[in-house]
A and B are shown apart, each in its own frame.
Chain A
Amino acid sequence: MLPKYEHEIRDPIHTFIRVSSDERRVIDSRAFQRLRHIHQLALTFMVYPGATHRRFEHCLGVMDLAGRIFDVITRQPRHPDVLQLFPSDKELDYWRTVVRMGALCHDLGHIPFSHGAEAVLPKGTHHEQLSVDVILSDEMREIWSTMKPPIDRLDVAKVAVGLKDWPGDPKDFTPWDELLTEIVTGNAFGADRADYLLRDSHHAGVAYGRFDHHRLVDTLRVLRAPGTGKPTIGIERGGMHAAEGLQLARYFMFEQLYYHRVRRALDLHLRDFLRAILPGGVYPTEVHAHLRLTDNEVLVELSKAADDANHEGHEAAGRILNRRFYRVLYEPTQDDLSTNINAVEAVLRAAETRFGSSAVARDRETKPSKPMDFAVWRDDGQIVSSLQESRVLERVPAATFDRVFIVPELREEAERWLKEHLRGILQMRIEEEI
């Protein structure tokens, strides 16, 4: 039997994901195999039972999509304004591997339960920093250096985390580097986002995450952004409906799934639990210590803690496993915010005074997910902003939330109290110059 140089992995989203023998060595590494044990959506499976998928298959999907995007933007006719950006065809082969490997490794730094518990990382640290550390680690070095051709691990790390989260000097990023990283982590059309919407939608059974990604990928082009002139990934006009579909999918998925109130309440308890069991209450960021921890170890400890009243994580574990999680006490209406833009803070402080700070919690998303402004290559040759070209995009609202939670034991009492006092609380002007 002839040796195989290309291997196929079956996937529910992309059907077959093909990898080379070199790429398979990265997949077989301890760091990547660990992702088989990190849930993609933290404890969302306690709300949507099907959402038990892992980071492992998501990263394979991102690699596959990133490779396809790379092929389209480098092989399709290039816009004359960006021709000088592209390296030679020979160099493009190298960069294609870099993009696929950056995409494959972009989540190596996720701690147990992914985003759900990220607050237990040391202040100022985020999982992208850990991804960089793992990619650059001695453990991975040999794989990069023996690939054919050898891959510069810094190139992989840059593509994996992008400019925003790059722990080194941001001046290291050339416009070409920025384009490559946009393929993976880009806000508008990044492979990471496209794969998680499709995959999370599939597993959670929430149909809203689907969009015509085949059409979208086929119409992606490197263009100069109108306004800034910066090279960026935009689309041909023919892909506009697919792009609108992606932005709508994103809005619905955030509202339906990612910001689900029970999932977010569970995140709060998970953080409390991890703080109780981790030495010093902080996640270890040293590479080997990080690679040893997965959801499995945490789930075993959760179970033990729930049964042991003397365990430091008993309270939080019981709230998760026995479904005694926080309930929503307050979410502001538009009218409330028009009366007091800091309404949630005012309610939180009043509730803490009335019920004690351990009974109350606040959870908010400070980075609303709003539709993106991207470049569109019109049929007449002009490049314009998507917001001008689409009548849909400007009407898609930003997905966001801000909530006050209360422990379920006090829920009814707290709701009665809030109903009686809300009007007065909203009149409180906190954080004001006098």
Chain B
Amino acid sequence: MTREELRDWAILGRIVERVEEQKRFCGETLLQKSAYFLKEMFDAPISAPFRIYYYGPFSFDLRETLSTMEGLDVVQTVPHEWGATYRVGRRYGQVRDRFPKTMKRLEPAIDWVMRELAPLGVKELEPLATALFLKREQPDANDETLAARLHTIKPHVSVDAARVALQKVGGWMAERAERA
């Protein structure tokens, strides 16, 4: 495995570990959207490319990464009524310990993910991640324009709900810029 692959595993494994500590459901959607926020808002070195779909930003490469991690017991999945929930596997520690600097640098960002994203369900995560995608894609557009566009991409999200998502993400981005 390359350094980039192993580092991806370390970061994803750490999200899984923290969600597991909180005793929450850790489905693929949470991992996808968390990785997307970490990459786009906190410059986390996650190599998987994301594309925007009907259900928001998603990376098929990340799905394959999770599958590889599971094959090597870096993470495991266990049955849950909503589908598979992830937890760390026997070899996660071996991966994490190779990247002490990255892990230390990203810990505050992962704290943020635990606070803001981990408690949310799929229906809340999708518009938020889509709002971040649109704000990154069109940084000069106002929220009204973006809300209309979000509703076009995801017709099941009303324009009002889109506005709320955009405001929330805007607040997070401003907070992040202030701290930086």
Within 8 A of A (CB), among B8-49: 25, 27, 29
Interface assignment of A226: CB less than 8 Å from any CB of chain B: yes
How far is the CB of A115 from the nearest CB of chain B, in Å? 16
Contacting A226 at CB < 8 Å: which of B6, B53, B81, B101? B81
Give the CA-CA distance A342 to B74 in the complex, in Å: 12
Which residues of chain B are near A192, meaning CB under 8 Å?
none
Which residues of chain A are near B68, meaning CB under 8 Å?
366-368, 400
Which residues of chain A are near B80, meaning CB under 8 Å?
385, 387-388
Count residues of B near A (Cβ-Cβ below 8 Å). 41
Interface assignment of A227: CB less than 8 Å from any CB of chain B: yes
Interface assignment of A229: CB less than 8 Å from any CB of chain B: yes
The answer to whether A173 and B84 have CB atoms under 8 Å apart is no
The answer to whether B29 and A400 have CB atoms under 8 Å apart is no
The answer to whether B29 and A433 have CB atoms under 8 Å apart is no
Give the CA-CA distance A366 to B68 in the complex, in Å: 6
The answer to whether B60 and A164 have CB atoms under 8 Å apart is yes
How far is the CB of A332 from the nearest CB of chain B, in Å? 10
Which residues of chain B are near A345, meaning CB under 8 Å?
1
The answer to whether A227 and B55 have CB atoms under 8 Å apart is no
The answer to whether A431 and B64 have CB atoms under 8 Å apart is no
Interface assignment of B94: CB less than 8 Å from any CB of chain A: yes
Contacting B94 at CB < 8 Å: which of A164, A341, A387? A341
Which residues of chain A are near B71, meaning CB under 8 Å?
368, 370, 398, 400
Residue in B29, B54, B64 whose Cβ sees the most chain A Cβ within 10 Å:
B54
Interface assignment of A373: CB less than 8 Å from any CB of chain B: yes
The answer to whether A385 and B53 have CB atoms under 8 Å apart is no
Contact flags B48-61 to A (C-beta < 8 A → 1, else 0): 00011111000010
Which residues of chain A are near B1, meaning CB under 8 Å?
341-342, 345, 431
Interface assignment of A4: CB less than 8 Å from any CB of chain B: no
The answer to whether A429 and B98 have CB atoms under 8 Å apart is yes
Known: A227-B29, A387-B79, A394-B78. A431 touches B51 (CB 8 A): no
The answer to whether A227 and B51 have CB atoms under 8 Å apart is no
The answer to whether A226 and B82 have CB atoms under 8 Å apart is yes
Contact flags A398-434 to B (C-beta < 8 A → 1, else 0): 1010000000000000000000000000000101110
Interface assignment of B158: CB less than 8 Å from any CB of chain A: no
How far is the CB of B129 from the nearest CB of chain A, in Å? 13
Contact flags A207-243 to B (C-beta < 8 A → 1, else 0): 0000000000000000001111110000000000000
Which residues of chain A are near B82, meaning CB under 8 Å?
226-227, 385
The answer to whether A373 and B84 have CB atoms under 8 Å apart is yes
The answer to whether B98 and A227 have CB atoms under 8 Å apart is no
Q: Which residue of B lies closest to A366 (CB)?
A: B68
Q: Which residue of B lies closest to A401 (CB)?
A: B71
Residue in B1, B29, B74, B95 whose Cβ sees the most chain A Cβ within 10 Å:
B1
List chain B positions with a Cβ less than 8 A from chain A. 1-3, 6, 25, 27, 29, 51-55, 60, 64, 67-68, 70-74, 77-84, 90-91, 94-95, 98-102, 122-123, 153
Q: 4 closest pairs, A vs B, by CB? A: A227-B82, A368-B71, A387-B79, A431-B3
